[in-house]
A and B are shown apart, each in its own frame.
Chain A
């Protein structure tokens, strides 16, 4: 939908993160075939698609966990395509990885403090308190090993840990995976909350309905290519999207 793209909010917001013609491969198997996506200021961008479409690979490439084989990634106009992951975190990219990936043997509080590892300012303690306000359960369990938390609590911790870096763009990989419906709702509330604070978000979700309904703009990924894009409501009305991802 190239024309609607021009009118979309996507065209108006100043781009924070831009991915152009990105290609990535695992060994000789190419996974991403020239991806183009944009995340603008204050936007929530959703990325939906089936298993194996390359969603996680794309996020890993953006955060530098895997090397790309072609294309560019820019943050505020600066190319970060080949920067090591820690430099990208310093530049403002935080990824909440698939499957939470908390530091299991470390305490909840240490997990949060490590989230602010790249920061040298004096407001880290304030942010820690903010996270405890946002997620009171984490405050209760702050001395507990993170691995002892339930799945939902680990997801909260993983998000809080990413927010401790004060990211300029937040990447979320399947935050609702494996969680009970009530918790899924809670996680989406947290995501909306981050958006309302103005943090640009790139959200990868299999729960397409939830992801599209809160998105400013969304992309559908199929076998490593963007096949459909548009605003959230546009995609929800799209026949193909309805059939393939919304089960209508």
Chain B
């Protein structure tokens, strides 16, 4: 029983990270139908910028917001310099551009910060808290807590703000969105900034657990993509449920089978989803009447 609880804790922790990553995928997908394969790099950049700041002597509580800010700027630059100039290219071309951008980002980071792993100290110590026979790391609480807060924040953004609704409208019908005066180019920029914000935050709270290395984003990004697809691409709730599911499944396989198979979980999962339910769990059902 305590073993199971231990796996649940670890699954929820990684699951929260995947959920935030998946949410980033969903937001950009909704704005443009583009799968942004540089999403994982936002997680890495968040961690890396934070590490860089602490190495320059900036205290952690300042380094974190600076890391988030720098990543958001990187997200905006990605959209302005790589996506926007492609104009009305088809979605597949744009997706390939994001793959190229991801390689570019990883290359630059490798040159600037090297290939080695960088450590970020836990936010509130390493002393594990015993819960029901299992041990919970304080950093896990940070990850789950921050993810929960951000999810609520993003939910409110789409439900209650005009910009959020405009983004949903753009996702539902791009031409009609233009016809009510929504600046779709600006919205795309906003969506990249939001995705970068989500990624950076996830990357930073996870950094004390994952360590930061230039290619950290590859795995985290791909798993976030699987989570988004599992939940139903474009669905916010789907991204969160998908993220937690992938995290939990990984933890169970690692715990009960072998940690060697842990990374195979999401990729086996995506094959099953695509065969059984290509739209994902919360995949958009068409409610159109004509």
In the docked arrangement, what's the CA distance between A63 and B185, Å?
Answer: 16
Q: Which of A103, A115, A151, A165 has the most CB of B within 10 A?
A: A103
B165 in the interface (beta carbon within 8 A): yes
Whole-angstrom distance from the CB of B188 to the nearest CB of chain A? 13
Contacts of A148 in B (CB 8 A): 287, 289
Closest to B290 in A: A151
A147 with B180: CB separation less than 8 A: no
Whole-angstrom distance from the CB of A102 to the nearest CB of chain B? 7
B178 with A64: CB separation less than 8 A: yes
Given known A97-B176, A104-B172, A114-B166, contact A145–B287 (CB-CB < 8 A): yes
A18 in the interface (beta carbon within 8 A): no
Contact check: which of B165, B185, B287 meets A104 at CB < 8 Å?
B287
B166 with A117: CB separation less than 8 A: yes
B165 with A106: CB separation less than 8 A: yes
Given known A105-B168, A154-B289, contact A89–B176 (CB-CB < 8 A): no
Contacts of B284 in A (CB 8 A): 105
A118 in the interface (beta carbon within 8 A): yes
A110 in the interface (beta carbon within 8 A): yes
A89 with B179: CB separation less than 8 A: yes
B168 with A63: CB separation less than 8 A: no
A95 in the interface (beta carbon within 8 A): yes
In the docked arrangement, what's the CA distance between A161 and B173, Å?
Answer: 14
Q: Would you mind naming 24 contact pairs between A and B with Cβ atoms under 8 Å apart?
A: A65-B175, A84-B185, A85-B178, A86-B178, A86-B181, A86-B183, A90-B181, A97-B175, A101-B175, A102-B173, A103-B168, A103-B172, A104-B173, A104-B287, A104-B288, A105-B168, A106-B172, A113-B162, A114-B166, A114-B180, A147-B289, A149-B289, A150-B289, A178-B290
In the docked arrangement, what's the CA distance between A150 and B53, Å?
Answer: 57
B287 with A117: CB separation less than 8 A: no
Chain B positions within 8 Å of A, measured between CB atoms, are 162, 165-166, 168-169, 172-173, 175-185, 284, 286-290
Contact check: which of B162, B169, B181, B289 meets A151 at CB < 8 Å?
B289
B180 with A89: CB separation less than 8 A: yes
> 8 Å CB contacts to B: which residues of A58-103?
63-65, 84-86, 89-90, 94-95, 97, 99, 101-103
Contact check: which of A101, A110, A149 meets B179 at CB < 8 Å?
A101
Given known A114-B169, A117-B181, contact A103–B176 (CB-CB < 8 A): yes
Given known A103-B168, A113-B162, contact A118–B180 (CB-CB < 8 A): yes
A161 with B180: CB separation less than 8 A: yes
A105 with B181: CB separation less than 8 A: no
Q: Which of A65, A89, A105, A165 has the most CB of B within 10 A?
A: A105
Given A65-B178, A104-B288, A147-B288, 10 extra CB contacts under 8 A: A86-B178, A89-B181, A97-B179, A103-B169, A103-B177, A104-B172, A114-B165, A114-B166, A114-B177, A114-B180
Contacts of A103 in B (CB 8 A): 168-169, 172-173, 176-177
Contacts of A85 in B (CB 8 A): 178-179, 181
